[in-house]
Amino acid sequence: MEPLGLLVVSDPTAKVLRMLEELPENVTITVGDRPEAFAKAGPAAAVMFNRMARKDTLRAVWNLAPNLKWVHSFSAGVNNLMFPEFIESPVPLTNARGVFSRSLAEFAIGAALFFAKDFRRMLRQQQAGVWEEFDVEELHGKTMGIVGYGSIGRAVAEKAKAFGMRVIAVRRRPEAGEGDALADRVLPGSALDELMAESDYVTVAMPLTSESRGFIGEAALRAMKSTGVLINIGRGPTIEEGALIRALQERWIRGAALDVFHREPLPAGHPLYSLENVLLSPHSADHTPQWEQDSMRVFLDNFNRFLRGEPLRNPVDKAKGY
C-alpha cells in the first residue's frame, strides 16, 4: 500500500493519541499543536484530524495541506473549524456526533432532579445541622422542552420519557420529527415561545451556527414559566447571556443548569458563580472516564472506512455547521 499522510492537530503529549498505533503501517502520522510542525508533511497529507485546536491554527495547517481529502473533528461541535476556504471546498468533514449524547442527557435529567428535589436546600440544611422537612416535586407528568432535536436532544427525550415526562421539541425541520416515538409534539423554530411557555424544564442542545447564535433571548426567557428551569448542554452563545443573568437575578425563571458558556473558562467574578439558582458545570457534563477513547474510536472506524472507500460516519453539512 502507498503511504498515506495524516495530520493530527493536537497537543502531542495527549495520552489518547496512543490509540493511533492501531492504524495501518503505511499511515505516516504527524502530530503538532503549531502550524510549523506540518510544514514538511502538509503538502502530501490526505487526512487531517483536529483534536480541539483553535480556528487560526487549523486555518494555517489547512493552507499547508492542499491535497486533503477528509477532515475529522474529535468533538461534536465544529464551529471552530468553519472558515470560508474550508466551507467552500469539496473536502468532507465528519465529527464525533453521538459519542456524548448519553452522558449529556444524563446531566440534563440530573439537573432537572436537582431542582425538582431541591438538592441545594438539602445540602444547605445538612451542612447547617438543621432538620426541616419540606415538599419535593416529581418529574413524572412534567413537560420537558427540547430546543435542538438532534442526537443529544433525542437522548434527553428518551430519558425524560423513562421518568414519565411529556416531551415537546423544536427543530429546524419539524416535518422530520413526524411519527417520532419520543416527542409528543415537534414544533418549528418560530414556535419557540410556545415551547418555552409550556415546558417545566427546557433543555437547549443546539450546535452553534449563525442561525442559532442568540436564538434564546429575552422574549423567550420571559415566555417561560416562573417555575421553569433552563438547561444548556449545547453551546453557550445560543443563549443571550445578559438576558439569562437578568432572568435569574430577577427570578423570571426558577433557575438554570449550565454546562456551556459564552467564554470558557468562565472568568473569576462572573455573576453566574454567585447565583443560588444556578447549577454550574465547568463544561464537564460529558467528561466520563472513557470519553476521549470513545471519540477516538469514531475516528479510527472512519479512517478504516476511508481506506476502504466506504461512506464515512457522521458527515457534517459545512454550510449549515452541523
* In the chain, where the domains are located: 4-98+290-308, 101-280
Region 31-35: mean pLDDT is 97
Q: Inform me whether the pLDDT recorded for 177 exceeds 70.
A: no
- Per the DSSP assignment, residues forming a β-bridge with 256 are 230, 278
Region 209-233: mean pLDDT is 97
Quote the pLDDT of residue 176: 64
Query: Cell triple for residue 270?
Result: 462572573
Residue of 22, 36, 264, 310 marked catalytic: 264
Annotation marks residue 102 as catalytic = no
Region 16-45: mean pLDDT is 97
Quote the pLDDT of residue 259: 98
Q: Inform me whether the pLDDT recorded for 131 exceeds 80.
A: yes
pLDDT band at 172 (very low <50, low <70, confident <90, very high): confident
Quote the pLDDT of residue 104: 98
Cell 457522521 found at: 314
Which residues touch 258 (CB under 8 Å, ≥6 apart)? Answer: 231, 232, 236, 272, 278, 279, 280, 281
Q: Fill in the DSSP letter of residue 266.
A: P
User: For residue 294, what are the CA distances in angstroms to 75, 79, 219, 297, 311?
Assistant: 11, 21, 39, 5, 20
First to last CA, the chain: 34
Amino acid at site 114? F
Q: Inform me whether the pLDDT recorded for 69 exceeds 90.
A: yes
Amino acid at site 47? V
Query: Cα torsion for 3, 12, 321, 294, to the nearest 10°?
Result: 90
Quote the pLDDT of residue 228: 98
Residue of 185, 235, 254, 292 marked catalytic: 235
Half-sphere exposure of 281 (CA within 13 A, CB side): 22
Residue of 283, 287, 297, 305 marked catalytic: 283
Annotation marks residue 34 as catalytic = no
CA 187 to chain centre: 21
Region 217-227: mean pLDDT is 98
| Two domains, one topology: 4-98+290-308 and 101-280 | yes
How big is the chain by its Cα radius of gyration, in Å?
A: 22
Region 89-112: mean pLDDT is 97
Ranges 102-116, 171-185, 195-209, 301-315: which has the least confidence: 171-185
Please, what is the average pLDDT of the chain? 96
The more confidently predicted of residues 118 and 53 is: 118
pLDDT band at 1 (very low <50, low <70, confident <90, very high): low
Q: Inform me whether the pLDDT recorded for 198 exceeds 90.
A: yes
pLDDT band at 2 (very low <50, low <70, confident <90, very high): confident
Ranges 162-176, 183-197, 224-238, 258-272: which has the least confidence: 162-176
The CATH fold assigned to 101-280 is: Rossmann fold (3.40.50)
Region 47-60: mean pLDDT is 94
Annotation marks residue 262 as catalytic = no
- CATH architecture of the domain with range 4-98+290-308: 3-Layer(aba) Sandwich (3.40)
Q: Where are the beta strands (DSSP E) in 124-234?
A: 143-147, 166-170, 185-187, 201-204, 229-232
Percent of the chain predicted with pLDDT > 90: 94
318 backbone dihedrals φ, ψ, rounded to 5°: -65, -35
pLDDT band at 81 (very low <50, low <70, confident <90, very high): confident
SS3 of 99, please? coil
Q: Inform me whether the pLDDT recorded for 244 exceeds 80.
A: yes
pLDDT band at 178 (very low <50, low <70, confident <90, very high): low
202 backbone dihedrals φ, ψ, rounded to 5°: -120, 115
User: CA 308, CA 4: separation in Å to the nearest integer?
Assistant: 13
